[in-house]
Structure 1
Amino acid sequence: MATLASLKNSASLQTLLGKAFRSERLLCAHYSKSTKTLKKAGQKDIVLVEAVRTPFLQSGTQYKNLMPHDLQREAYKALLKRTGLDPADAGYVIGGIVIQEVKTSNIAREAAMGAGIPDSVPAHTVTMACISSNQAITTGIGYINSGMVDNFIAGGTEFMSDVPIRHSRKMRAIMLQSTKAKTTGQKLALFSKVLNPSVWNPELPAVAEFSTNEVMGHSADRLAAAFEVSRQEQDDFAFRSHSLAKKAQDEGLLDDVIPVKVPGVDETVDKDNGIRPTPLEKMASLKAAFIKPHGTVTAANSSFLTDGASACLVMTEEKAKRLGYKPLAYLRNFTYTAMDPKDQLLLGPARSMPKVLDQAGLELKDIDVFEFHEAFAGQILANLKALDSDWFAQNEMNRPAKYGAPDLSKFNLWGGSLSIGHPFAATGVRLVQTAAKRLRKEDGQFGVVAACAAGGLGHAMVVERYPE
């Protein structure tokens, strides 16, 4: 430990005192605001110990010959290695996925056992579109507050390189009937049905709403138009996302990424491959991707199909101290919202953030770090405009006046889903981990994570920096 006698100059003294004062302010703020306001009666102090993720890769690239549980298994293994947690000490495992592989329907269980977690540790899988791993985390928080466990592993994975493609409903019916056909006549009757070309048309999965049959990109285009978000604004925001992600990657800030040795090839993947700041002139030349020819959503200002997985370790503060961990953050208030899946499909952050901050007794000015899921540039900008709209507040949020939009100088400063990638069920853990790391890096206290999801769903959570 440095002493006053050992300090060589006043600058060193100022640095040391500055760190001490910052720590004291953070500690005082924690006790004055967090324990009295954010922590509700009956709830425990719950901390994020660590989080990791595989590199997020564009679908059809290096991961293409794997399966979803392979990626989730690698994330779990890396988390156990980084934390040194005894696998037998894991209280519960919760994993998310959106497009399921039928062979591993409870993917959390298969990946957990594959990662060396004993079969005596329960595991289950959740699905809530793009907020699936957020749901995994908050489900585990509920388990802790109920007293069932004192720690859990949560995460999620998505594998767009090999999505399940089904036979048509007609063909499936014929195949099921074939198991019951006994006579030659019955078999010939079924064979004649197979000769009809229409039964061979496959059913392809689509990123579309079941209730509206509308692709999400159409919703993003309509939302951008409704809030008067221009094509230029969307391209500018996408360029910002890629540029900030590239800077963060180059500076080693994305240290949640763990290397993955791809089986069958002599290659280890160790970074995201979709981060590519494209010149604005080239972005402007791209044609509309969904509403043609006049739409403003393009491939460049949309998140891309991504393969990847994430995992995090969450436990009570008491257990973390007992095991000698230095947590990243407290996980505080969280909320979920739901809205019209047609006209308001992607407005989850605008509805969820004010609600969770009200619950926490915080105001916009109290928040140092914002991490929002970037499904589309137009979606993000529409949410920011909604938050800054008196009309939206009064007509949609039952508030007397606009809540206010986050300051962009605090917003997604290490890039986002547009650039880093968006494996649907893995993104939530990335958002929480990034918020926690940024709070430490930027000397902040409170962060907010927010996201939209298919089905007209939204989520927000308050993350509080853990005193160092």
Structure 2
Amino acid sequence: MAPPPAPWNWVKGRVCNLCREVGERLHNGLHAETHHQEPPRHNPIRCQMSRLFGSASGSSYADLMPHDLARTALQGLLNRTNIPREVVDYIVYGTVIQEVKTSNVAREAALGAGFSDKTPAHTVTMACISSNQAMTTAVGLIASGQCEVVVAGGVEFMSDVPIRHSRKMRKTMLSLNKAKSLGQRLSVISRIRPDYFAPELPAVAEFSTSETMGHSADRLAAAFSVSRVDQDDYALRSHTLAKKAQDAGFLSDVVAYKVPGKSTVDKDNGIRPSSKEQMAKLKPAFIKPYGTVTAANSSFLTDGASAVLIMSEDKALALGYKPKAYLRDFVFVSQDPKDQLLLGPTYATPKVLERAGLTLADIDVFEFHEAFAGQILANLTAMESDWFAQNYMGRKTKVGAPPLEKFNTWGGSLSLGHPFGATGCRLVMAAAHRMKQEGGQYGLVAACAAGGQVNSTFDILFNVTLYALYLVSACC
């Protein structure tokens, strides 16, 4: 009988085998052929999605907390899929403005939704593409073999943002807490001045540039000659299409929520088709009096949450689930936060298409995040410009602008709202449902975010025939 191997040799052998297995999984998952071919069976797939109805901040969800919304989205996902909680290996959530009481909102929401305390959960933040980051994190966990089933999502609660004491008051309160005697306490209190009581509101400007995103949108619209009329027309289009989709029952990813002590929220409450005349009456919101960005052609502050079930194909088939989407590829890019804050989709779109081996003409469904109407129209203009491609992107030819008949045809963030940390999942849901409804084969999603960054992702959907969804998200 052979002697047992030395401890180090045994460990080294196990580690080498593990590294080899993970390397093969990553190679197969990230370099698989993506053009017009069925994905390998180990690819991460999306099986089902859910989200809460978007609610304008300060309205239906005003008395809740972020983890309440995230918990409800998770419970809605569980109810729709009937997946046993113990099957889920990991939970990742994205958020932007964190509630200090629940800094890891993913964990608190998971426990509240009845998941085992043995199920790990963590929270990520990447501005408006936080839930995109959550989804791609889930993909990485699956592609590396660490997990088989992951729930990714996002949540944002704008009805109760943290408002701090001034820094002077905070320092005084900390000193008071350290004081040992009554005399020391009275000495600290005597130093308090009236200006100490002025509250410190959450920052709305970019830290690196000290400019608000609204100002950036106004400058961007001016740089690309996007008029106020064009912006109002696009915003009206978003609300009109969202209303049609809502009336037709297409917004089927939403979960009705009975707010304790209040009525049930059963529809997005920000969809408000207006008229050009009414929109024209509004004054500029940021650059006054000559700016073109108004409250009507900007996305509104929103409370909301979303959740997506992601698993390996083998696991999905073993559990009897029908794949809804195959995640194929994604990229993250970053731009100058001063002058190109909102142009991320223009830069990310060609990269994800090139990685997938497709062209813009192959895409049947486009879902772009509508931070501002001016931002959308500026990106479409930039994508259609050879000059911009040559001088700013290092490309010989333009990217090409998506045709509007394929673009955000069920509305977008201007009408459905923009809960920062949850929007990425909503975009994915909309693209998936549209492709099934419209019979499309390929889809592309794009989103911009604070900081001048961008993320692009590619999915393939299967129903009766082959569908594909390319997801592009941009941090701007």
Using the size of structure 2 for normalisation, the TM-score is 0.89
Aligned-partner residue type, residue 208 of structure 2: S
| 8 Å contact from structure 1 (residues 94, 154) kept in 2 | yes
- Partner of 2:255: helix, strand, or coil? coil
Aligned counterpart, 2:322: 326
Aligned-partner residue type, residue 202 of structure 1: P
Aligned counterpart, 1:280: 276
- Partner of 1:462: helix, strand, or coil? strand
The count of corresponding residues between Structure 1 and Structure 2 is 433
Instruction: Report deviation, 1:184.
Output: 3.5
Instruction: Report deviation, 1:39.
Output: 8.1
Instruction: Report deviation, 1:403.
Output: 1.1
- Partner of 1:314: helix, strand, or coil? strand
CA–CA separation in structure 2 for the residues paired with 1:207 and 1:326: 43
Instruction: Report deviation, 1:292.
Output: 0.2
- Partner of 1:440: helix, strand, or coil? helix
| 8 Å contact from structure 1 (residues 328, 437) kept in 2 | no
CA–CA separation in structure 1 for the residues paired with 2:222 and 2:324: 39
- Of stretches 43-52 and 229-238 in structure 1, the one that deviates more from structure 2 is 43-52
Aligned-partner residue type, residue 199 of structure 1: Y
Aligned counterpart, 1:156: 154
* 1:320-399 map, 5 Å: 320-399=316-395
> Does 1:418 find its partner at 2:414?
yes
- Partner of 2:170: helix, strand, or coil? helix
Is there any run of 5+ residues in structure 1 with no aligned partner, and where? 1-33
Aligned-partner residue type, residue 405 of structure 1: A
| 8 Å contact from structure 1 (residues 432, 463) kept in 2 | no
Give every structure 1 segment of 4 or more consecutive aligned residues whose post-TM-superposition deviation is greater than 6 Å. Answer: 38-43
| 8 Å contact from structure 2 (residues 154, 421) kept in 1 | yes
Instruction: Report deviation, 1:424.
Output: 0.3
* 1:123-138 map, 5 Å: 123-138=121-136
Instruction: Report deviation, 1:185.
Output: 3.4
CA–CA separation in structure 1 for the residues paired with 2:278 and 2:440: 37
Pair 40,216 (structure 1): closer, same or farther in 2 beyond 3 Å: farther
Pair 43,289 (structure 1): closer, same or farther in 2 beyond 3 Å: farther
* 1:168-187 map, 5 Å: 168-187=166-185
Percent identity of equivalent pairs: 63
Instruction: Report deviation, 1:465.
Output: 2.1
Aligned counterpart, 1:227: 224
> Does 1:466 find its partner at 2:462?
yes
> Does 1:215 find its partner at 2:219?
no
> Does 1:293 find its partner at 2:285?
no
Aligned counterpart, 1:406: 402
Aligned counterpart, 1:61: 59
Please provide the CA RMSD for this pair. 1.5
Aligned counterpart, 1:25: none
| 8 Å contact from structure 1 (residues 446, 462) kept in 2 | no
Is there any run of 5+ residues in structure 2 with no aligned partner, and where? 1-31, 465-476
CA–CA separation in structure 2 for the residues paired with 1:193 and 1:337: 49
The one of 227, 250, 253 equivalent to 2:250 is 253
| 8 Å contact from structure 2 (residues 346, 399) kept in 1 | no
Aligned-partner residue type, residue 148 of structure 1: Q
CA–CA separation in structure 1 for the residues paired with 2:253 and 2:420: 17
- Partner of 1:282: helix, strand, or coil? helix
The one of 424, 429, 434 equivalent to 2:425 is 429
Instruction: Report deviation, 1:310.
Output: 0.4
Instruction: Report deviation, 1:62.
Output: 1.1
Aligned-partner residue type, residue 292 of structure 1: K
Aligned counterpart, 2:261: 264
Deviation per residue, 1:369-403 (Å, 9 max, x gap)? 00000000000000101111112111221101111
Aligned counterpart, 2:77: 79
Aligned counterpart, 1:114: 112
Instruction: Report deviation, 1:405.
Output: 0.5
Pair 391,43 (structure 1): closer, same or farther in 2 beyond 3 Å: farther
* 1:183-202 map, 5 Å: 183-194=181-192, 196-202=193-199
Deviation per residue, 1:395-431 (Å, 9 max, x gap)? 2211011111111110000000000000000100010
- Of stretches 377-386 and 394-403 in structure 1, the one that deviates more from structure 2 is 394-403
- Partner of 1:463: helix, strand, or coil? strand
| 8 Å contact from structure 1 (residues 53, 310) kept in 2 | yes
Instruction: Report deviation, 1:248.
Output: 0.2
| 8 Å contact from structure 1 (residues 95, 154) kept in 2 | yes
Pair 36,160 (structure 1): closer, same or farther in 2 beyond 3 Å: closer
The one of 101, 104, 111 equivalent to 2:102 is 104
- Partner of 1:179: helix, strand, or coil? helix
- Partner of 1:118: helix, strand, or coil? coil
Instruction: Report deviation, 1:83.
Output: 0.3
CA–CA separation in structure 2 for the residues paired with 1:51 and 1:40: 22
CA–CA separation in structure 1 for the residues paired with 2:439 and 2:38: 25
CA–CA separation in structure 1 for the residues paired with 2:459 and 2:168: 49
> Does 1:304 find its partner at 2:300?
yes
Pair 39,205 (structure 1): closer, same or farther in 2 beyond 3 Å: farther
Deviation per residue, 1:428-455 (Å, 9 max, x gap)? 0010111111111111111011110000
Instruction: Report deviation, 1:333.
Output: 1.2
Aligned-partner residue type, residue 305 of structure 2: A
| 8 Å contact from structure 2 (residues 176, 189) kept in 1 | no
The one of 312, 324, 331 equivalent to 1:316 is 312
Pair 131,328 (structure 1): closer, same or farther in 2 beyond 3 Å: same
Instruction: Report deviation, 1:189.
Output: 2.2
> Does 1:454 find its partner at 2:450?
yes
| 8 Å contact from structure 1 (residues 39, 332) kept in 2 | no
CA–CA separation in structure 1 for the residues paired with 2:40 and 2:363: 25
Aligned counterpart, 1:70: 68
Deviation per residue, 1:186-231 (Å, 9 max, x gap)? 222211222x111111111133211111111000000000111000
Instruction: Report deviation, 1:246.
Output: 0.2
Instruction: Report deviation, 1:38.
Output: 7.7
Pair 386,36 (structure 1): closer, same or farther in 2 beyond 3 Å: closer
- Partner of 1:274: helix, strand, or coil? coil
Instruction: Report deviation, 1:152.
Output: 0.4
Instruction: Report deviation, 1:327.
Output: 2.1
